Structure 1
Amino acid sequence: MDENAASEATRPVLDVWCELQCPDCHRAMSDVHALRERYGDTLEIRFRHFPLERHKYAYAAAQAAEEAYAQGNGPAYEEAVLARTRDLGERGEEVLIEVARELGLDSEEFETALIDGRHLLAVDADQAEGKAIGVTGTPTYVIAGERLDGGKSQEGLRERIESLADGLLGR
């Protein structure tokens, strides 16, 4: 294993359990941006799917995000959809296709992916893992084995995440 692969394998991970129709997840993006700016590549931030039943289009949005990752632009797609949570709730899957088109992704392939369900297993696996570790709402953060529930309040969460990340990074 080369040195870069070794350091990447040992870098701390922050899992962000999120759903793309969740207004709280949209508001949490400012903290995610701040964490990315502070830690750069030393902290891996992974978005994990946790679609909530109360949001009609959350499951489709999670599948669409997986298609965006398959097409090489997952993070930008997730952020663009999160910025339009109200629009998604009002107009549904049409918004998911529009966002793909706006980002220059293959929107026809998005439509096909939503019909054929090719990303169902990935979404279901994330959701099952989240349930297994006690995730009940979004956003929920997991770092260093600690689960932090952002669905109730974002107050103080970024500072707690930074404290845990700093500890893992020996800062």
Structure 2
Amino acid sequence: MSAPVPLRLDFWCELQCPDCRAALADVAVLRDRFGPELVVELRHFPLEKHKHAHLAAQAAEEARAQGQLWAYVEAVLVRVAELAAAKGAAAEKLLVDIARGLGLDADEMELALIDGRHILQVDADEAEGAAIGVKGTPTYEVAGKLLDGSKDQTGLREQIEAILTDRAADRHT
């Protein structure tokens, strides 16, 4: 008998979005509640109004390549106001400094931001998000349902928990 397929939650996020920073607490609660049964996948949806969001998404992909995606995402979102205020090359410097602070290879991070090796991944996420109806961040996709938290996150975690609990129960029967 094969192992059951884990539950999946796609978290459509933008790393210059203050609401995404707040949403991380809900994501952490869901991870704790469901443990290894739940795979939370970060999906990028950089918004045009945030000038450093696409660059930050690329940096997050480099952090993923270096095995530190979630730690990096959390560290960037903690400094979302600083990123928003950064002018010109200061945004790239901030993203590289965050990587350095986490013990990532900062030189490789800087090179990734220069050579654009993760642009296609970020663009693919953005295109897929637009195709399925993502309009803002944070947005969650779970069991084929899209839950938009970009205007109000009230009750979203509870809705997601209910969907995941039902899915987990179905898998175990």
Range into which the TM-score falls when normalised by the shorter chain:
over 0.9
Partner of 1:100: 99
1:145-164 to 2 correspondence within 5 Å? 145-164=144-163
Q: What is the rounded CA distance, in whole Å, between the counterparts of 1:17 and 1:51 in structure 2?
A: 9
Q: Deviations over 1:66-92 (max 9, x none)?
A: 000111111110111011100111122
Alpha-carbon distance, 1:160 to partner? 0.2
Corresponding residue for 2:164? 165
Cα deviation per residue 1:64-118 (whole Å; 9 max; x = unaligned)? 0000011111111011101110011112222101110000111111111111100
Q: What does residue 137 of structure 1 align with?
A: 136
Alignment of 1:59 onto 2:58: no
Asked whether 1:37 is paired with 2:32, we answer yes
Q: For residues 11 and 37 of structure 1, what CA distance do their matches in structure 2 show?
A: 14
Cα distance in structure 1, aligned partners of 2:153 and 2:140? 11
Task: Tell me if 1:80 matches 2:79.
Answer: no
Where do 4+ consecutive residues of structure 1 move more than 6 Å?
none
Deviation at 1:55?
0.5
Cα distance in 2 between the residues matched to 1:58 and 1:131: 16
* Helix, strand or coil at the partner of 2:50: coil
**Could you tell me how far apart the structure 2 residues matched to 1:97 and 1:16 are?**
24
Counterpart-to-counterpart distance in 1, 2:131 and 2:7: 21
What's the TM-score, normalizing by structure 1? 0.94
SS at match of 1:14: strand
Distance in 1 (CA, whole Å) between partners of 2:85 and 2:112 is 21
**Aligned partner of residue 45 in structure 1, secondary structure:** strand
Aligned to 2:117: 118
Give 5+ residue unaligned stretches, structure 1.
none
> Would you say how many aligned residue pairs link Structure 1 and Structure 2?
166
Counterpart amino acid of residue 52 in structure 2: Y
In structure 2, the gaps of 5 or more residues are: none
Partners of 2:6 and 2:28 lie apart in 1 by 18
